[in-house]
């Protein structure tokens, strides 16, 4: 049901943007969804308080209070902030904006409402993007967008409002990433890739960190995983960093709309040169850095303590990310990183030496080769690195998984990993880590390899190099049956070819050609 709602909303919203670029339009749409969310949760709390004030059995009961008294009490902000609900000033409430939606100055009114909300809620300082007054939408389109977003959510239940609006927000993030193509991929990691990382990492509790968090998808999926496995929202502490200011705001809204507490640093900033969490040591780190970034280096990074395994080349940040992440892991921590396939085998500019030292230090735990066409922004083949500072099991071994052939096309240009494939990868890693009999090397899919053998292959970590070929069906009966059918088919085609050859000869003969 919600899937249908999402598709309908997207189709309508996309139509309203007319000729506006998707990169600009997304901020208008997602910002309004966020305002609708905080208004819905505010109204839900307001209705809850109204019942409490009138209930003689409730601690908040107001005996002999007049309707005017109750209305005045409902405007006390402490009742809302105590319940972790954003305080929304009257002029910034959704119904006030909706009532003015058709006015020519609606863009200015929205910007003013966002300014009021930020002033009343320090947690939202500098997060809300005030660009509505200068939006280049045709007349009436912004008002129509407000009317459309008014159909989302449930004012009577804060939990439903959060879940529905959160899912719509996430869906729209993905659709905008697809619409933007290459640029969109810089703020959004495809859901199936995030799910795979989280399924293998299994972040049940503790500090979760993403040093290049984009729009916050890793955190959202981590919270979903925790709740699905019996935990509760808040069991994990969220730490992130993002250099792009607009994407930093998207992440903050994405987390706030789900009621997730977060620390994205004081400001958007470059992770390498302006690390916002220098003293953090995380239990789990998940990241999808920009592939093969060749503009990351700064002279101030020379001799940086993060380069334990060697100084990364200035022309590629892959091994800078790997070492930054290892630096921020607790001794018992685990990390999962998405990188370009070249990171597994490159020997240029010291990368091979750094990889060798990492393998010899036994910090590489699992390598997964991914199918192509998973990402919006690049066709570069990608892989997953899973690192562990101190392995509790399987010391001196690396698990290789080759999932290159396991993608499912969902459009002409986009593939994904199904839940079945994600679960298979997660279950395989879990069984391997625990040393269970359920784990078995599977030719063509997975294999556990000793460090000495990896060294024999020049410390190349490409799964295809290690898992071997997929087992070929060798059942004689199956082979004979297939051979029989192919032989029959070949006979039919040869007979048909002979008939056509004879017909052509007859036609040419009637035209006077002799053979």
Residue at 134 is within a domain: yes
Distance between CA 163 and CA 154 in Å, rounded?
Answer: 10
Q: Of 180, 199, 221, which closes a domain?
A: 180
Query: 27-44 in b/e burial notation, b at 16+ Cβ within 10 A?
Result: bbbbbbbbbbbbbbbbbb
Q: Using the predicted structure, report yes or no on whether residue 282 has a pLDDT greater than 80.
A: yes
Say which range, 135-149, 155-169, 442-456, 501-515, has the weakest mean pLDDT: 155-169
How would you list the strands of the sheet with 397-402, edge to edge? 236-240, 206-210, 282-287, 329-340, 382-388, 364-369, 397-402, 446-450
Distance between CA 212 and CA 275 in Å, rounded?
Answer: 11
Return the closest-CA partner of residue 271 out of 321, 314, 340, 219.
321
Q: What CATH number is attached to the domain comprising 305?
A: 3.40.50.150
Distance between CA 320 and CA 307 in Å, rounded?
Answer: 7
Residue 392 CB contacts under 8 Å (≥ 6 apart), including other chains: 332, 433
Residue at 271 is within a domain: yes
Residue at 347 is within a domain: yes
Q: Using the predicted structure, report yes or no on whether residue 183 has a pLDDT greater than 60.
A: no
For position 186, what pLDDT does the model report? Answer: 60
Q: What angle do CA 307, 308, 314 make, to 5 degrees?
A: 25
For position 412, what pLDDT does the model report? Answer: 84
What are the two backbone dihedrals, phi and then psi, of residue 339, each rounded to the nearest 5 degrees?
A: -140, 165
For position 156, what pLDDT does the model report? Answer: 52
pLDDT top residue among 338 and 375: 338
The two most distant CA atoms of the chain are separated, in Å, by 116
Q: Using the predicted structure, report yes or no on whether residue 414 has a pLDDT greater than 90.
A: no
Q: Of 180, 202, 231, which closes a domain?
A: 180
Distance between CA 210 and CA 180 in Å, rounded?
Answer: 23
Q: Using the predicted structure, report yes or no on whether residue 242 has a pLDDT greater than 60.
A: yes
Handedness of CA 154, 159, 163, 165 (dihedral sign): positive
For position 181, what pLDDT does the model report? Answer: 64
Q: Using the predicted structure, report yes or no on whether residue 472 has a pLDDT greater than 80.
A: no
Instruction: Name the one residue in this structure whose structure tokens are 């091979």.
Output: 352
β-partners of residue 383 are: 339, 369
Q: Residue 269 to residues 74, 210, 266, 274, 298: CA-CA distances in angstroms?
A: 40, 13, 9, 6, 14
* DSSP assigned state of 205: S
Q: Same structural domain for residues 403 and 361?
A: yes
* DSSP assigned state of 152: S
Q: Same structural domain for residues 188 and 170?
A: no
Q: Name the token pair of 508.
A: 């040419």
Q: Using the predicted structure, report yes or no on whether residue 457 has a pLDDT greater than 90.
A: yes
Q: Same structural domain for residues 207 and 156?
A: no
Q: Name the token pair of 351.
A: 């990368």
For position 477, what pLDDT does the model report? Answer: 55
Distance between CA 328 and CA 337 in Å, rounded?
Answer: 13
For position 424, what pLDDT does the model report? Answer: 97
Q: Taking all residues of the chain, what is their mean pLDDT, rounded to a whole number? A: 88
Under the banding of pLDDT at 50, 70 and 90, the label for residue 238 is very high
For position 3, what pLDDT does the model report? Answer: 72
Residue pair 106/32 in contact by the 8 Å Cβ criterion = no
Distance between CA 321 and CA 335 in Å, rounded?
Answer: 11
Distance between CA 10 and CA 3 in Å, rounded?
Answer: 11
Q: Same structural domain for residues 81 and 99?
A: yes
For position 188, what pLDDT does the model report? Answer: 76
**Total number of domains in the chain:** 3
Other residues' Cβ atoms within 10 Å of the Cβ of residue 210:
28
Other residues' Cβ atoms within 10 Å of the Cβ of residue 289:
23
Q: Same structural domain for residues 203 and 239?
A: yes
Residue at 498 is within a domain: yes
Q: Same structural domain for residues 131 and 208?
A: no
What are the two backbone dihedrals, phi and then psi, of residue 234, each rounded to the nearest 5 degrees?
A: 105, -10
For position 154, what pLDDT does the model report? Answer: 52
How do 382-388 and 206-210 pair as beta strands? unpaired
Under the banding of pLDDT at 50, 70 and 90, the label for residue 113 is very high
Q: Is 48 exposed, middle or buried (0-12, 13-18, 19+ CB in 10 A)?
A: middle
Q: Name the token pair of 411.
A: 């459009």
Return the closest-CA partner of residue 333 out of 214, 441, 202, 497.
202
Residues spanned by the domain of 289: 184-466
For position 80, what pLDDT does the model report? Answer: 92
pLDDT top residue among 98 and 377: 98
Q: Same structural domain for residues 236 and 310?
A: yes
Say which range, 152-166, 172-186, 339-353, has the weakest mean pLDDT: 152-166
Q: What angle do CA 476, 482, 485 make, to 5 degrees?
A: 140
Under the banding of pLDDT at 50, 70 and 90, the label for residue 189 is confident
Q: Same structural domain for residues 307 and 385?
A: yes
Residue pair 172/10 in contact by the 8 Å Cβ criterion = yes
Q: Same structural domain for residues 144 and 196?
A: no
Q: Same structural domain for residues 124 and 267?
A: no
Q: What CATH number is attached to the domain comprising 80?
A: 1.20.1260.30
What percentage of the chain reaches a pLDDT higher than 70? Answer: 92
For position 185, what pLDDT does the model report? Answer: 52
Alpha-helical (H) ranges within 55-105 are: 67-73, 78-81, 94-99
Mean pLDDT, to the nearest integer, of 341-366? Answer: 96
Q: What radius of gyration, in Å, describes the C-alpha atoms of the chain?
A: 29
Q: Using the predicted structure, report yes or no on whether residue 380 has a pLDDT greater than 60.
A: yes
Count of positions (residues) in the chain:
515
Other residues' Cβ atoms within 10 Å of the Cβ of residue 66:
9
For position 5, what pLDDT does the model report? Answer: 73
Residue pair 411/190 in contact by the 8 Å Cβ criterion = no
Q: Same structural domain for residues 157 and 251?
A: no
For position 95, what pLDDT does the model report? Answer: 94
β-partners of residue 400 are: 367, 447
Residue at 54 is within a domain: yes
Q: Name the token pair of 268.
A: 């958007």
Residue 377 CB contacts under 8 Å (≥ 6 apart), including other chains: 181, 182, 183, 184, 185, 186
β-partners of residue 287 are: 337
Distance between CA 258 and CA 165 in Å, rounded?
Answer: 8
Q: Same structural domain for residues 192 and 294?
A: yes
Handedness of CA 274, 277, 279, 282 (dihedral sign): negative
Distance between CA 25 and CA 131 in Å, rounded?
Answer: 10
Q: Using the predicted structure, report yes or no on whether residue 106 has a pLDDT greater than 70.
A: yes
What are the two backbone dihedrals, phi and then psi, of residue 37, each rounded to the nearest 5 degrees?
A: -60, -50
Per-state percent for the chain, helix, strand, coil, to nearest 5 = 50, 10, 40
Q: pTM here? A: 0.81
Residue at 472 is within a domain: no
């Amino acid at each position: 049901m919600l899937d249908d709602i999402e598709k309908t909303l997207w189709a309508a919203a996309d139509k309203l943007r007319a000729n506006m670029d998707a990169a600009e339009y997304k901020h208008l749409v997602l910002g309004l969804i966020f305002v609708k969310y905080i208004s819905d949760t505010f109204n839900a709390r307001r209705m809850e308080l109204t019942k409490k004030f009138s209930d003689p059995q409730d601690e908040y009961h107001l005996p002999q209070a007049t309707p005017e008294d109750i209305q005045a009490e409902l405007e006390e902000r402490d009742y809302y902030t105590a319940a972790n609900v954003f305080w929304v000033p009257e002029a910034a409430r959704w119904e006030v904006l909706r009532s003015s939606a058709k006015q020519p100055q609606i863009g200015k009114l929205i910007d003013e409402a966002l300014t009021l909300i930020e002033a009343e809620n320090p947690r939202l300082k500098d997060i809300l993007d005030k660009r509505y007054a200068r939006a280049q939408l045709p007349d009436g389109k912004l008002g129509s967008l407000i009317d459309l977003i008014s159909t989302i959510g449930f004012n009577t239940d804060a939990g439903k409002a959060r879940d529905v609006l959160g899912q719509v927000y996430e869906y729209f993030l993905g659709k905008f990433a697809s619409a933007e193509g290459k640029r969109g991929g810089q703020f959004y990691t495809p859901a199936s890739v995030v799910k795979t990382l989280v399924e293998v990492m299994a972040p049940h509790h503790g500090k979760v960190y993403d040093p290049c968090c984009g729009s916050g998808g890793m955190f959202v999926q981590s919270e979903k995983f925790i709740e699905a496995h019996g935990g509760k929202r808040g069991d994990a502490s969220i730490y992130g960093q993002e250099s792009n200011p607009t994407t930093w705001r998207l992440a903050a809204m994405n987390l706030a709309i789900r009621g997730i507490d977060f620390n994205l640093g004081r400001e958007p900033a470059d992770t390498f040169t302006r690390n916002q969490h220098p003293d953090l040591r995380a239990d789990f780190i998940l990241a999808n850095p920009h592939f093969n970034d060749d503009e990351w280096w700064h002279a101030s990074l020379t001799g940086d303590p993060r380069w334990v395994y060697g100084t990364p080349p200035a022309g590629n940040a892959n091994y800078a990310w790997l070492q930054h992440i290892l630096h921020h892991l607790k001794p018992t921590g685990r990390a999962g990183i998405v990188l370009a396939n070249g990171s597994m085998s490159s020997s240029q500019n010291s990368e091979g030496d750094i990889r060798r030292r990492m393998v010899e230090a036994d910090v590489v735990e699992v390598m997964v080769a991914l199918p192509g066409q998973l990402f919006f922004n690049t066709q570069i083949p990608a892989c997953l690195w899973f690192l562990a500072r101190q392995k509790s099991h399987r010391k001196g071994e690396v698990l290789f998984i080759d999932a290159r052939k396991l993608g499912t096309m969902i459009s002409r240009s986009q593939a994904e990993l199904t839940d079945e494939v994600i679960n298979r990868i997660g279950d395989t890693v879990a069984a391997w880590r625990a040393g269970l009999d359920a784990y078995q090397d599977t030719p063509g899919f997975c294999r556990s390899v000793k460090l000495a053998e990896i060294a024999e292959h020049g410390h190349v970590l490409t799964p295809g190099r290690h898992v071997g070929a997929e087992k070929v069906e060798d059942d004689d009966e199956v082979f004979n049956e297939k051979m029989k059918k192919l032989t029959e088919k070949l006979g039919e085609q040869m007979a048909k070819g002979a008939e056509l050859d004879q017909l052509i000869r007859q036609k040419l003969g009637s035209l006077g050609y002799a053979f």
